[in-house]
Chain A
Amino acid sequence: MAGVDLADEVELVARSRRGDAEAFDRLVTANRERVYMVAYHIVRNSEEALDVVQETFLRAWKNLARFDGKASLGSWLSRIASNASIDLVRRRQAHPQTEFEVAPMKIDPASRTTPARSEAPGESLDLAEIRTRFQQALDTLSPEHRAVILLKEIEDLSYQEIADHLGCSIGTVMSRLFYARKNLQNQLRDLHEEL
């Protein structure tokens, strides 16, 4: 946990349970990035991910008495965020309104008008187009599969870390990775054949 060791965490949790807002604020600072990461990779929209972060910490504040300390606070918060994000995606699927956010392109700081070109591999492929293809393919995955593959391949987390974040077993993580990879490979076959 960034900036807060385990002893500090226990102390801060105890103070927060007694209603100490300053102690809770320190816990927020120490965990907000990981909570955002989980939320963002499931909902794929920065505004909604921030809403999930807020909801996560609000739920945590109300339910701190239920936190038993068996897992780390970070894992507990990540699971709350994961569940809240999956709920949000399911609601969005039931009532589609929000478009998935396409991440801004990398702009070469030295360039005046033109975006930086992608380097090899795929010199002939436009990076924006590739990004759009990945976004579209990821959108077809279930939120659970999307979270697993992005936490593994983009955030470079271990199986154990992903399991902690999502509140599932390592076996489930590996099984989801298997199907998510197969799915992406099938959808993007033309891309990797072009490489």
Chain B
Amino acid sequence: MKNFEERYTAWMDDALDRDERAAFERALPDPAAAAREREEWLRLRGLMRQALEPARMPHADFVNSRIREAIAREARPAARSAPRLFPLPRLAFAGGFLVVLACVLSAIILSGPAPEAPTVSEIVAAQVRDERNRAYAFEAPGRAAVLWIDDAGFIPANERL
């Protein structure tokens, strides 16, 4: 015991041996006041013990089941939140995205540029029998193709440009 508070507490609780007690009481500035205070505390402690009771746990057995449930609850979210490679929402999103991508690509492919002009001109040249007809085709910059048929009297009905 080092400081005054510790020795005073031990003195109040009668936890000092005879020599320690005598030395402590000699060192007190007002031993009579200290003795009076000790008596007052002992009376107050008696009253306190009458008024307040030791803690007794209610429903002690219920506590065990409550703790078991809490442990089980803790374990469940851990299992649920364990990372999965392909969770369902992610798979659905990826599937939807792929469908949309396929549609967009199909549309782009179907509405793509017109057949190459040289191919068309060859078809026309092959199908139009009039020798005077001339077909010129040239590619404009970008995707446009221009077909110019010179002196064409007609284009066969089965030919679609």
> Counting CB contacts under 8 A, is B54 at the interface?
yes
Contacts A36-B57, A192-B44; is A58 near B9 (CB within 8 Å)?
A: no
> Which B residues are CB-close (under 8 A) to A195?
43-44, 47
A65 interface hit (Cβ, 8 Å): no
In the complex, A134 Cα to B50 Cα: how many Å?
11
Q: Are B64 and A181 in contact (CB under 8 A)?
A: no
Q: Is the interface of B mostly helix, strand, loop or mixed?
A: helix
Interchain CB contact under 8 A, A49 and B40: no
- Which of A5-13, A25-33, A67-75, A87-95 faces chain B? A25-33
CB < 8 Å neighbour of A191 from B1, B2, B44, B71: B44
CA A40 to CA B8, docked complex, whole Å: 28
Judged by DSSP, the binding face of A is helix
Question: A131: nearest residue on chain B (CB-CB)?
Answer: B51
What is the minimal beta-carbon distance from B83 to any residue of chain A, in angstroms? 20
Closest residue on chain B to residue A189 by CB atoms: B40
> In the complex, A36→B63 CA distance in Å?
10
CA of A24 to CA of B48 in the docked complex: distance in angstroms?
37
29 A–B contacts, CB within 8 A, in A order? A28-B67, A33-B57, A36-B57, A37-B54, A49-B57, A50-B57, A53-B57, A54-B63, A57-B67, A57-B70, A58-B71, A118-B50, A121-B46, A131-B51, A153-B45, A154-B53, A154-B55, A174-B5, A175-B6, A175-B9, A177-B9, A178-B6, A178-B8, A179-B5, A185-B41, A188-B44, A191-B44, A192-B47, A195-B43
Interface residues of B (CB under 8 A from A): 1-3, 5-6, 8-10, 12, 15, 37, 40-41, 43-55, 57-60, 63-64, 66-68, 70-71, 74
